[in-house]
Amino acid sequence: MTAQHPRLVADRYELKALPMPGGMGLVWEGYDTRLDRPVAIKQIRADKAHSSAQRAELISRFRREAKVTAKIEHPGVPAVYDAAIDKPDDSPDGVAELYLVMQLVRGEDLRDVLAQHSALPVAWAVSVAAQVCSVLSYAHAVPVVHRDLKPSNIMIDTDGWVKVLDFGVAAVLGTDVTQITDTGRMVGTREYMAPEQFLGVGVSPRSDLYALGCVLHEMLAGKKVFDGSSDPALQHVHEDPVPLRVLRPEVPQALERIVLELLAKAPEDRPDSAQDVHERLVPYLPVSSAGVDGPAPAGVADPTRPYRAPLAPKARPRPAAEPLVPYTPTVLDPAAAPPPAPANFSTPPFAVPRVSEEDVEEAEHHAVRLFEEERYSQAAGVLEEILDQSGSDDPLLLGLRQVYAAVLLAGGDYRRALAAFQLLAAAAGRTEGPDSEDMREYRQQIALCHAMLGEHEHALDAYRALLPGAAREEALALQEKIAALLLTLHRVREAARVLRGLLRDLDPASPEAGRVRELLTRIELTGGTGS
């Protein structure tokens, strides 16, 4: 590739500059020839996909994760413009290459800042962490778990705003949170991985909070949580971190406590959410009149500026004398009740007419076509127009509600999918009874949604409640999920007992038995109780 003849990806994007290595591929500064703008182009490494089936699965997951990531509407996440699949002419076997096309962000990544300046002023470290919390709160509401939060994925742009990079990239190469992973496969960076990631089981929003604790510790202490003197897996799973005030006495005690809670071994011992962490960081955020505790790192935009001067113009900052209110992002809770209707709103004095069978059939066919094209948001919208017109027990709409729940689940909208399956289960309980086949299916999907949302205790209870009355194959699958969730919750002894019992019941030559043996071996290697 030369400057005169830049390579063109997907007949649209020029790869302008030499690529920079990334954790999971190469990153180019590129150019969008249609919209006349600079872009960042990240090539996703597909070298683990050795067969055509694996490549097809990777492409499918790539498309799905790009769509879900694009739903994170926050200025701290570079916008996803395109998910391009390209087959270069010089590829010997015509294997497709995968590219994420994103907003180009200019600035310094936190890894380079820490390499040059070691420990940061407290106001700087807290300002970076608080901005990351704001991003995570929006991502986790989608829900999207980053899985690989680390300094090189955190950038401070030229105005001091923090950008979190590579959402969805780890998920493209990972596995679902309710499945035991492939042999030896872990997604993440070892210095910042939560204990449950080393055990190879489900990640959750609290896994991202653990990684945030590692990053905040490093910003304040000038060194990583663990020094690498032994295996990182053993250290993260079993060793306690050195308290910050031992390394840097001027760190406020309450701030040290926040970091220690973020670094708790068991997910349920960490803060409940990124919103909670942000609220606890607020007292340490700078205000307009606040100075910086210590010399500010040179050559890096000040990350305290968004708090000292929120939304200030570039060319003419606000006068220092003008009082400023520190910026606190508004976070929408998808589980919260809708706002009350305006006082002047009144219900029409007539009943909404029942939809016709023709309307239902047309909506279902339209939604299924959109579903097959992976246009999940549009499919859900088509169905909502009909479903909003009738009650939950209307038998005419049962099939439509089932399709609606499946569309939400496939599109990664787990919060609304959970509500949809709960509605179906409630209706089935009234019309079919608690032990019907439909009811068990709805309960399975409810448990899955809880797990995907990081609500692992709820998922565990839901799966355990399905064991009575389960056929043999279903019971074995449920026990595998239960073991994975127990490991996610750091209940290692209990998980090992379930896995050993499961191994006795499985065909030794089956893939399931192989996964269980691998997981027990991993528990032993990390000092657990697998033997």
The pTM (predicted TM-score) of the whole model is 0.74
Question: How far is the C-alpha of 85 from the C-alpha of 90, rounded, in Å?
Answer: 15
Residues whose CB is less than 8 angstroms from the CB of residue 227 and which lie 6 or more positions away in sequence, other chains included: none
What is the residue-wise DSSP string for 433-474?
A: -TT-HHHHHHHHHHHHHHHHTT-HHHHHHHHHHHSTT--HHH
Delimiting residues of CATH 1.25.40.10 domain(s) in the chain: 357-525
Decide if 176 is catalytic: no
pLDDT of residue 89: 59
Residues whose CB is less than 8 angstroms from the CB of residue 38 and which lie 6 or more positions away in sequence, other chains included: 16, 29, 30, 31, 32, 104
Strands (DSSP E) found in 321-409: none
Question: How far is the C-alpha of 217 from the C-alpha of 226, rounded, in Å?
Answer: 10
pLDDT of residue 230: 75
The distance between the two most distant Cα atoms of the chain, rounded to a whole number of Å, is 75
pLDDT of residue 4: 57
Delimiting residues of CATH 3.30.200.20 domain(s) in the chain: 7-102
CATH architecture assignment, domain 107-308? Orthogonal Bundle (1.10)
Which residue in the list 109, 148, 166, 413 is annotated as catalytic?
Answer: 148
Other Cβ atoms less than 10 A from the Cβ of 315: the count is 5
**Torsion sign, CA atoms 199, 203, 204, 208:** positive
pLDDT of residue 169: 64
Tell me the backbone φ, ψ of residue 220, rounded to 5 degrees. -85, -35
Q: Is 184 exposed, middle or buried (0-12, 13-18, 19+ CB in 10 A)?
A: exposed
Contact 248, 210 (CB under 8 A): no
User: What pLDDT digit, counting tens, does each position of 465-483 carry?
Assistant: 999 989 999 999 999 999 9
CATH number attached to the domain at 357-525: 1.25.40.10
pLDDT of residue 341: 38
pLDDT of residue 328: 36
pLDDT of residue 221: 96
Delimiting residues of CATH 1.10.510.10 domain(s) in the chain: 107-308
Residues of the chain with pLDDT under 50: 1-3, 23, 173-186, 315-352, 531
pLDDT of residue 345: 34
CATH architecture assignment, domain 7-102? 2-Layer Sandwich (3.30)
